[in-house]
Structure 1
């Protein structure tokens, strides 16, 4: 019988891979960098990375925006990016494109430096030229974007300008976000501050209701610490806002996941963390009991980064256009396109009898079909879907609870998913979800659930591992939620042969532990951005050079994953030598376990191929009856290549026999 997936594979076009429709609608990501250009942001400071060089917060913010755009050219070429500056006296009419109408509907003292638009090399090069000019002349940014002195623009006007810019430039079905960068924790000093706070909160509600998420990056320094409680705790909104009257402005929990930047050089690394929008893998109901349901969204915590997919282009003479690709099915006999809904699926059990008219008529009936003896059974796409899902609808059904210590490490057979409440689907989901988490953590229990995430997936049993919310000093926080751990079925578990190994002595362990402790990562943290995949990094560096029409020098590429041998020997060289000496003197290190002592080890059968037999099969044209391993063994004995399919092996054997 052929593999299961060979006959019951359904077109992805017909399937709704993810229940969250926003995943399809929000394929494009729109980021509007909203950068404060006040005097404090333009104030010159010593660059921490270069000697005798000065920098400022605006320069760092623009550099971060430029770096993210350069990266998005590779990983998200369809995304849109814009840059809005506020607290500057530069007039909107003096845009770089000379378009007087551009930015005419934004508030005073705000300037649209880069309109919302697709990523392109000339726009990024313009930012690079501005940053290079600042390196040569530290007053370049202050002269290009003169700061507003004596007062500050109202944050309500800033949010209104962001709303108008996104409304006019961003695609309607995109994921829209605003990166707010500022170092001023109380922008509304003096009389009328309460009215300005109310105005800022109202305009921010209008911004979020249009589908825009504001992600603030607050710059805090030793000279000027940033205190959120002065202004932003009364203005910023929680995620999934449902009812304004339910929010207490004095409650600090209404703040979204804001970032407080204690070191301005960390701005780029923290922006990269939030560069990719959080798209839900699924949005399904969570049934706690009969008639008691809440809504949850599922997110993937680990994703493999791969090279971007290539595209087909059509040469139209004066320009190149992206070709639209679609899959169609053609009837070979009639050479006509076949409707995919009429296609049925069946197992390839050999060349059966041709289908007669009665069988064709029965195949059209999706409710009931009578299959005669000797005929091949066929199934519709709906039948295949019902086989997979067992007639269940996507959702999570809570079955019960178990003690937390009953969850073993080996039960986690693949990447877990993280679920979070969805207030938009079922009102009260957050409160119920939070109460369940607190109760399970208090009682040291885990949940057991039956899960079906997609319509074309198979139901699995999962463990709900609760995670309590935690926050550190830098503003990073682990949200409260459940890790959805897929449990293995009985067929997924294999009994391992128990082999007693030779254990190292305590002295040898202590010697190894000494140099391992010297080379351990500090604080147990592993920053993945610091060690990029060298193959992807090399590929992206070449694409970036091609996009910006620069000459790429392969010798300049640095593989950051290579071990730093000098530092390793400097830190732990002596300890490693001492461990090596102890290892040589340890008698247990010389013990070798032969394969024969391991229970259940299979010996590979010896394969001998006689040349006379091969030649006799060749003379009667019966090489096709030989097995692949026999053909390979014969070619290997004659020092011939053994790669390729069986037909290629047969051809290679025939060529050798003809030559000899």
Structure 2
């Protein structure tokens, strides 16, 4: 029984009869949908006291930079994460408005999904101080504990239990309430309440113009004239070391402190680093042998970002169309259920039929695990970068699943690093997924001059090919080493060109994806009802002016050093002859007998040199590179009847010459 798949658009529930699906993609989709059910609830807690309004470079203030950074993330979230909820809370304001009635705290935007109107309000607030001074105002009489209390009330009212709750604190006051220890203790208490409610706090320290004076709301020690002192109050008080209780978040303590000194661009970059939710790709056991296993989990260090997908709408009503999938018998048009269908694979021209249960048993390779196969020298993998089938995954211990995993993991990591070995394993992250061959490349911690972690310790899980995955490309028809001495002058010129065009301090951070930027710029323009989309600069395009300035003088030398096509030691490159019309061919036949004809007939294909051509191709195993007319003419000249298909003709010629 054959069947085809039909799609219908309209209301109603999705049909469960989806037929056979790739189990790995299906499981990944199930995991993705489960993670999407967990919304991200983010509150920007922005200091609006007088020090935040001091003018910095370019008539920009720390407050306006903070609001502009929040607006930039709103524009991203309205497209990427429209289900997430974001709020803006200002403290140190003259006109307060919050559910608890606390002074100097303004809930500018409640915890809700991003919208065009909310973005427009933030953009107006970030453009100049006029709107802020007229509608809100600033004061230095505020309480940080009141602001944190209001944030906690927003989470209690609007956030669900499983939501991912985060607070971004943006301020340039290192030590608030420096002369009032009671208010500091209240702020610490409110921060602990947020921690117990599952919220994670992050601090973005901004710069200020001059050393602050001693007051009730600013630091008194003048520890940093322009920078931000995280040790003065916030560290271990508001931002605690136990803040990240969820293993899906980063464990490094430095990840919760961001020095955003440097204006809007730096602050926006720092905020973007924390906007993306970090979740583990897999979590399973690493089995070293019978009875010896420990827990590991993996994180993606690189993940390709693709443009958002479109959603179908009903043309008449502009309502979202629901996609319903059904399978129908091709001969009887009867709708089929999943139990009514089997699957088959072609083998030797025969259909090997399997039921769904049989397929599930075939694809069952046991419990998910990372199983040890053995060890190999590190160079085995590093010398063959083409072995990387996909981007690597960073593996760390999972203490939650297996107590004591960190101890075993660290010992294995240190020993592999010391002996410069990689771990070869069989990798199966989920049930129903085919096992893959992987190599675990050890990486030890690296620190900068300030003691901050540059690289964490762990294993890079590298996907390596099976024997069946390897391909051997055809070897070149010439020995390039034999040509190098002839082109030695040109090689020297190319050395100069390479030296002049070498990119210093190359980093991929300087090359954003132009396709994504243009895609989202146009979506933002439509969503925010703007006349034109923002102009996007494509950093992947070469700077032709700079290239011409650097290597333009080498072009004449290069043209002089490359051998001409007629040189004796250089094989000339023959241009493909143009086909002549019948009239032109007739004129050539009627012309002077001394003029050689430029077009050969098929009967003359196998004569003379052409027969040598066929025999030479056969000796090199390249008969399939010759054209059908040449091969057919050779067979006819030998008294053979050519077959119709080229592979059959090649076999005929090969059998004749063997």
Task: State how far apart, in whole Å, the 1-side matches of 2:109 and 2:47 are.
Answer: 15
**After superposition, what is the alpha-carbon deviation per residue over 1:443-468, rounded to whole angstroms, capped at 9, x for unaligned?**
32221211012323210111111223
Query: Structure 1 residues 171, 195: CA separation in 2 closer, same or farther (over 3 Å shift)?
Result: closer
**Paired residue for 1:545?**
525
Task: State how far apart, in whole Å, the 2-side matches of 1:228 and 1:511 are.
Answer: 54
Residue from 45, 49, 53 that aligns with 2:56: 45
SS in 2 for 1:234: coil
SS in 1 for 2:547: helix
Task: State how far apart, in whole Å, the 2-side matches of 1:350 and 1:586 are.
Answer: 54
Task: State how far apart, in whole Å, the 2-side matches of 1:267 and 1:395 are.
Answer: 41
Residue from 512, 515, 522 that aligns with 1:531: 512
Residue from 194, 204, 228 that aligns with 2:230: 228
Query: Structure 1 residues 104, 553: CA separation in 2 closer, same or farther (over 3 Å shift)?
Result: closer
Task: State how far apart, in whole Å, the 2-side matches of 1:455 and 1:194 are.
Answer: 51
Residues 23-62 of structure 1: matches in 2 within 5 Å? Answer: 23-26=34-37, 28-47=39-58, 54-62=59-67
Task: State how far apart, in whole Å, the 1-side matches of 2:204 and 2:402 are.
Answer: 31
The higher radius of gyration belongs to 2
Residue from 202, 205, 214 that aligns with 1:218: 205
Residue from 604, 608, 612 that aligns with 2:625: 604
**Paired residue for 2:306?**
306
TM-score (norm 2): 0.71
SS in 2 for 1:16: helix
* TM-aligned CA deviation for residue 237 of structure 1: 4.1
**After superposition, what is the alpha-carbon deviation per residue over 1:181-229, rounded to whole angstroms, capped at 9, x for unaligned?**
222332352334773575255224214x3xx433332225673222322
Residues 187-586 of structure 1: matches in 2 within 5 Å? Answer: 187-190=176-179, 191-192=181-182, 195-196=185-186, 198-199=188-189, 202-207=192-197, 209=198, 212-220=199-207, 223-235=225-237, 236-238=239-241, 241=244, 254-264=253-263, 265-314=265-314, 320-330=318-328, 338-340=336-338, 343-347=341-345, 377-389=352-364, 391-407=365-381, 408=383, 409-472=385-448, 477-499=454-476, 500-501=479-480, 502-503=483-484, 509=491, 511-528=493-510, 530-533=511-514, 535-552=515-532, 556=535, 558-570=537-549, 572-573=550-551, 576-578=552-554, 580-582=556-558, 584-585=560-561
Residues 634-653 of structure 1: matches in 2 within 5 Å? Answer: none
Task: State how far apart, in whole Å, the 2-side matches of 1:602 and 1:301 are.
Answer: 47
Query: Structure 1 residues 584, 493: CA separation in 2 closer, same or farther (over 3 Å shift)?
Result: farther
Task: State how far apart, in whole Å, the 2-side matches of 1:36 and 1:463 are.
Answer: 48
Task: State how far apart, in whole Å, the 2-side matches of 1:348 and 1:149 are.
Answer: 78
| 1:503/1:588 contact within 8 Å kept | no
Query: Structure 1 residues 567, 233: CA separation in 2 closer, same or farther (over 3 Å shift)?
Result: same
* TM-aligned CA deviation for residue 338 of structure 1: 4.4
| 2:116/2:528 contact within 8 Å kept | yes
Unaligned runs of 5+ in 1: 1-6, 48-53, 93-102, 244-251, 353-375, 610-625, 630-660
TM-score (norm 1): 0.71
**After superposition, what is the alpha-carbon deviation per residue over 1:87-135, rounded to whole angstroms, capped at 9, x for unaligned?**
334311xxxxxxxxxx414855332211122222122122222333x1x
Q: Number of aligned residue pairs: give it.
A: 544
Query: Structure 1 residues 516, 79: CA separation in 2 closer, same or farther (over 3 Å shift)?
Result: farther
Query: Structure 1 residues 201, 345: CA separation in 2 closer, same or farther (over 3 Å shift)?
Result: same
Task: State how far apart, in whole Å, the 2-side matches of 1:602 and 1:168 are.
Answer: 76
* TM-aligned CA deviation for residue 488 of structure 1: 0.9
Residue from 153, 166, 172 that aligns with 1:177: 166
Unaligned runs of 5+ in 2: 1-17, 209-223, 575-612, 631-643, 648-658
* TM-aligned CA deviation for residue 162 of structure 1: 2.8
* TM-aligned CA deviation for residue 586 of structure 1: 5.0
Task: State how far apart, in whole Å, the 1-side matches of 2:307 and 2:252 are.
Answer: 39
* TM-aligned CA deviation for residue 254 of structure 1: 4.3
| 2:342/2:354 contact within 8 Å kept | yes
Task: State how far apart, in whole Å, the 1-side matches of 2:361 and 2:101 are.
Answer: 54
Query: Structure 1 residues 152, 339: CA separation in 2 closer, same or farther (over 3 Å shift)?
Result: same
| 1:30/1:175 contact within 8 Å kept | yes
* TM-aligned CA deviation for residue 432 of structure 1: 3.8
Task: State how far apart, in whole Å, the 2-side matches of 1:445 and 1:200 are.
Answer: 49
